[in-house]
Chains A and B, each alone.
Chain A
Amino acid sequence: MKRRDFLKLSALTGGAVLLGNAPNFRALAQGGTPASGGTLVWGHSETTQNIDIHQTGTASTLRMLQNVHDSIVVPDSNFTIQPGLAEAFEVSSDLLTYTFFLRPDVRFHNGKLLTAADVKYSFERVKDPATGATNFEVFNDVEEILALDDHTVQIKMSRVYSPFLARLSENGSGAIIPEGSGETTGTQPIGAGPFQFIEREFGNEVRLKRWDEYWQGPAYLEEIISREVTEPTVRLTGLRTGEMHLINDIPLDRVDELKADSNLQVHTWAPLSWAFLNFNHQIEPFNDPRVRLAFDYMIDKEVLVQGALWGQGEVTASPSFPTSPSRNNDLQVRPQDFNEARSLLAAAGVNPSDLEFTFKTTTNYPWHVEATQIMQEWFRMAGLRVNVEALTWSDWLSQCWINRDYTVTMMNFFTLWEPDFLYYSLWHTTGAFNYRNISDPVLDDWLQQARETADQSVRMELYHQIKQRIYDEAHDVVLWFRNGTLAAQKNVGGLDHIVNPNGSNLNFWRVSLG
């Protein structure tokens, strides 16, 4: 019924509408009806933070809120943008007008039907700097948000912002909340997703309940209790003792052992996140690309993936998602070569034994601490003198991220599959995530161009160039893609539908308990 309507509409609007099969529909089409009901206990690896979908910037919170809120558009596994709460959309050829046609039968958890007013309200809320929305910049070039009728919303741009649709599909910027619910969405969020938010005891658990009137049909699970257990081994013990049905982020060293366990099922995917080594570009001699390149040559990325991730990842020279057309596949991971490193340092006039610095890392990611120790050992072998400071998350954020008071550090990122979000934020001089003081005029120019290029293949080619430049200058050293992992009891069904294309979010709509 719904599927037929959907197809009819796509045929009708044709032309400018970018359509494909939404991944959700594929799930529906599969045979066998899983049992309905039951309460699933999920051992969640991280603590949820601010649960205001527009304000929150943490992967952990988005992972949970994915089940509460639906977005106007969603990405598919190839990162092509698909309809979400809008059953269709039109983009004018000059990329200056976007029209969204809303589904008529979407009900929020408060029982109200989704209307254009809710969309207008949500977008304007994100756009307003006073809201403090993480993604307010997505709306920087938005001139006007119009509700043409009850189910049609039109957005007029002041200039071309090529990543607009893609940005709307991610990280909560396109999540629609009922008109006027902004005040309470941080405490009692109301969305149009498959589960209703019941309550949260901070740092302990979040309870979600099935929303029977979900527009794609009700979920199988009656309730989800997300228990926030940050300690990996504790989570694993919980799964083994049956306290939990499902856990995400299996301790890295246990994945193989769990795969062999016939009482459990394991689901892995790649990538969940990627990591890189950072230099403070304002500190001598790290402003010299030869010095940064030398560091690249000191690191054996294969050994690092084995040593720090227990093999649960892959080396990569580029942080672009493997399936993204923006990825430059020509780049090769540089091998470990101490001679090359030494000659690069010599060329830069740096005597290894004069290079003494503190490598700041964060205990928030235990594998970073391991990776740091392994790299430190290599740096020591190259003759450098390196101290390690393992900082708490909050200290790392304030010292490295905000105050940029560090020499060398490392970090990882989730969900940055959208090339503008990824490259502009991280490598543009004014990028929001440029905590390395990088300022490369060539990059800045190309990044701005890419942002304003409407032709997607030209735009993707620009990103290949951009990544080549980052690689040649060794602005940072990309280390790895880390695998996502989750394990569950045998009676949990639908694990193949749980992971969002962005590799981080989990959606329990198709998950069942047998």
Chain B
Amino acid sequence: MTYLFKRLSLLLLTLLLISVVTFVLTKILPGDVAIMILGTRSHPETLTALRQELGLNDPLVVQYGRWIGDLLQGDWGTSLRFKEPIAKLLGQKILASGVIVVLSLLIALSLAIPLGVVGAVRQNRWQDTVSSSTALLGISLPDFFWGMVLILLFSRWLGLLPSSGFVSPLENLWLSIKHALLPAIALGLSLMAHLTRMTRSAMLEVLSQDYIRVSRSKGLGERMVVYKHALRNAIAPVITVAGLQLGYLFGSIIVVESLFNYTGVGWLTYQALLNRDIPLIQATVFVIATVFMLSNLVVDLVYKVLDPRISFE
């Protein structure tokens, strides 16, 4: 209980720090929001007036106070460029990213666990080599490269899947998945690689434990030993790492969503950065950082529940 309390108070502190870092980051970004709104053909006086109106001339502390105050009251402001409420924009985009994140996790786990298990069970044999090489290749190429190869293969040559765009799953689930599939694979490949390596080493560790040796000596079938006992014990750290990787996915989606013109949070963040849409950058960066931090926390807690041997400082 005190652990949880301590964790929560630290969480609030970190959240505050994240908001400060986010704010400072966006304040030192070069660029002119006003011209991004009005375009190249706008007049200097109109620009000056708009800067004033946006409060861009107020002292930093005032701007920060206003931002955090509004944020706490649920007012996320309006995107300068997109001219839409940020909360609404984020809602749409989180749904879009959610689809590819879930899909890529599914793809990664469904490939990584068998590959990792085979690698561990057949350690140092050809199956292990195949599994390890696949994993190594997966982490050795940037995800945008995989994305490009996928577009070439599945859209251009085979014509099986669309190469760009997002369709809401609430509108048409099948079409939505078709659009999300290629970006999800591109994202999932490197995740799969990490998880395969993780599964393999966790399995190896479990397989060398006493109770597995005991199970074996009791004459239980190898399948039974591997799948019922070993995998069940090895899966906890794998799921944990998968959870941790969620946060990294939020970094990867910036590149992958831009490549596929898939309008999710990553795409939104990149657009916001490109366009110096300060309120939007603040919101997206803050949300990503918060989600990332929370996922770390949840993973920690889950891990603590799954494996009571771990003690936290």
Contact (Cβ within 8 A) A231 B276: no
Contact (Cβ within 8 A) A50 B41: no
B136 at the interface (CB under 8 A from A): no
Among B46, B155, B163, the most chain A Cβ lie within 10 Å of the Cβ of B163
Instruction: Report the nearest B residue to A58, measured CB to CB.
Output: B39
Chain A residues lying within 8 Å of B43, measured Cβ to Cβ, are: 134, 136-137, 432
B45 at the interface (CB under 8 A from A): yes
A337 at the interface (CB under 8 A from B): no
Instruction: Report the nearest A residue to B159, measured CB to CB.
Output: A241
Chain B residues lying within 8 Å of A496, measured Cβ to Cβ, are: none
What sequence of 0s and 1s flags, for each residue 44-58 of chain B, a beta carbon within 8 Å of any chain A beta carbon? 111101100000000
Chain A residues lying within 8 Å of B151, measured Cβ to Cβ, are: 234, 237
With A203-B82, A229-B165 known to touch, is A134 a contact of B263 (CB < 8 Å)?
Answer: no
With A55-B38, A132-B50, A231-B261 known to touch, is A203 a contact of B267 (CB < 8 Å)?
Answer: yes
Contact (Cβ within 8 A) B41 A394: no
A28 at the interface (CB under 8 A from B): no
Contact (Cβ within 8 A) B50 A397: no
CB B254 to nearest CB in A, in angstroms, measures 14
A187 at the interface (CB under 8 A from B): yes
Contact (Cβ within 8 A) A237 B89: no
Chain A residues lying within 8 Å of B41, measured Cβ to Cβ, are: 57, 134-135, 171, 432-433
B235 at the interface (CB under 8 A from A): no
A343 at the interface (CB under 8 A from B): no
With A203-B263, A234-B163, A397-B32 known to touch, is A241 a contact of B155 (CB < 8 Å)?
Answer: yes
A135 to B39, CA, bound (A): 12
A55 to B263, CA, bound (A): 25
Contact (Cβ within 8 A) B164 A238: yes
B123 at the interface (CB under 8 A from A): no
Contact (Cβ within 8 A) B163 A238: yes
Instruction: Report the nearest A residue to B259, measured CB to CB.
Output: A231
What sequence of 0s and 1s flags, for each residue 27-45 of chain B, a beta carbon within 8 Å of any chain A beta carbon? 0001110011111111111
List residues 133-159 of chain A with CB under 8 A from any CB of chain B: 134-137
What sequence of 0s and 1s flags, for each residue 155-191 of chain B, a beta carbon within 8 Å of any chain A beta carbon? 1100100111110000000000000000000000000
Contact (Cβ within 8 A) B267 A243: no
CB A368 to nearest CB in B, in angstroms, measures 14
Q: Choose among B49, B259, B275 the residue that contacts A132 (Cβ–Cβ < 8 A).
A: B49
With A137-B43, A229-B261, A230-B261 known to touch, is A237 a contact of B155 (CB < 8 Å)?
Answer: yes
Chain A residues lying within 8 Å of B82, measured Cβ to Cβ, are: 202-203
Instruction: Report the nearest B residue to A136, measured CB to CB.
Output: B43
Chain B residues lying within 8 Å of A237, measured Cβ to Cβ, are: 151, 155-156, 163-164
A392 to B92, CA, bound (A): 26
B81 at the interface (CB under 8 A from A): yes
What sequence of 0s and 1s flags, for each residue 161-184 of chain A, a beta carbon within 8 Å of any chain B beta carbon? 000000000010000000000000
CB B280 to nearest CB in A, in angstroms, measures 10
A385 at the interface (CB under 8 A from B): no
A129 at the interface (CB under 8 A from B): yes
CB B98 to nearest CB in A, in angstroms, measures 16
A227 at the interface (CB under 8 A from B): yes
B228 at the interface (CB under 8 A from A): no
Contact (Cβ within 8 A) B46 A129: yes
Contact (Cβ within 8 A) B30 A395: yes
Chain B residues lying within 8 Å of A56, measured Cβ to Cβ, are: 39
Contact (Cβ within 8 A) B40 A201: no
A332 at the interface (CB under 8 A from B): no
Instruction: Report the nearest B residue to A52, measured CB to CB.
Output: B83
What is the predominant secondary structure among interface residues of chain A facing chain B? loop
Instruction: Report the nearest B residue to A242, measured CB to CB.
Output: B159
With A132-B49, A234-B164 known to touch, is A50 a contact of B274 (CB < 8 Å)?
Answer: no
CB A138 to nearest CB in B, in angstroms, measures 12
With A187-B83, A204-B263 known to touch, is A134 a contact of B162 (CB < 8 Å)?
Answer: no
Contact (Cβ within 8 A) A204 B166: yes
With A57-B39, A204-B263 known to touch, is A398 a contact of B276 (CB < 8 Å)?
Answer: yes
A402 to B156, CA, bound (A): 41
A398 to B38, CA, bound (A): 12
A240 to B42, CA, bound (A): 38
CB B125 to nearest CB in A, in angstroms, measures 42
Report how many residues on chain B are interfacial, defined by Cβ distance under 8 Å: 44
Among A56, A136, A186, A234, the most chain B Cβ lie within 10 Å of the Cβ of A234
Q: Choose among A49, A241, A243, A395 the residue that contacts B39 (Cβ–Cβ < 8 A).
A: A49
Chain A residues lying within 8 Å of B164, measured Cβ to Cβ, are: 229, 231, 234, 237-238
Among A56, A171, A203, A395, the most chain B Cβ lie within 10 Å of the Cβ of A203
What sequence of 0s and 1s flags, for each residue 391-431 of chain A, a beta carbon within 8 Å of any chain B beta carbon? 01111011101100000000000000000000000000000
Contact (Cβ within 8 A) A50 B83: yes
A477 to B260, CA, bound (A): 37
B271 at the interface (CB under 8 A from A): yes
Chain B residues lying within 8 Å of A432, measured Cβ to Cβ, are: 41-44
Among A57, A130, A137, the most chain B Cβ lie within 10 Å of the Cβ of A57
CB A1 to nearest CB in B, in angstroms, measures 39
A248 to B89, CA, bound (A): 27
What sequence of 0s and 1s flags, for each residue 76-117 of chain B, a beta carbon within 8 Å of any chain A beta carbon? 000101111000010010000000000000000000000000
With A204-B166, A394-B274 known to touch, is A132 a contact of B46 (CB < 8 Å)?
Answer: yes
A397 to B155, CA, bound (A): 35
With A129-B45, A132-B46 known to touch, is A398 a contact of B92 (CB < 8 Å)?
Answer: no
List residues 115-165 of chain B with CB under 8 A from any CB of chain A: 151, 155-156, 159, 162-165
Contact (Cβ within 8 A) B92 A201: yes
Contact (Cβ within 8 A) A50 B275: no
A405 to B30, CA, bound (A): 13
CB A498 to nearest CB in B, in angstroms, measures 23
Q: 18 extra interchain contacts, Cβ-Cβ under 8 A, other than A203-B263, A393-B274, A397-B31? A: A50-B39, A56-B39, A58-B39, A134-B41, A135-B41, A136-B46, A203-B82, A204-B263, A234-B164, A240-B159, A394-B32, A395-B30, A395-B31, A397-B35, A398-B32, A398-B35, A432-B43, A433-B41
Q: Report 22 cross-chain contacts, Cβ distance below 8 Å, ordered by A residue.
A: A50-B83, A129-B49, A132-B42, A134-B38, A136-B46, A187-B83, A201-B92, A201-B263, A203-B263, A203-B268, A203-B271, A204-B263, A237-B151, A237-B155, A240-B159, A243-B162, A243-B163, A243-B165, A395-B30, A395-B31, A398-B32, A398-B276
- In the A-B complex, list the 10 residue pairs whose CB atoms are closest, starting with the nearest: A57-B39, A57-B41, A398-B32, A202-B82, A204-B263, A234-B164, A237-B163, A398-B31, A132-B46, A394-B276
Interface residues of A (CB under 8 A from B): 49-51, 55-58, 129-130, 132, 134-137, 171, 186-187, 201-204, 227, 229-231, 234, 237-238, 240-241, 243, 392-395, 397-399, 401-402, 432-433
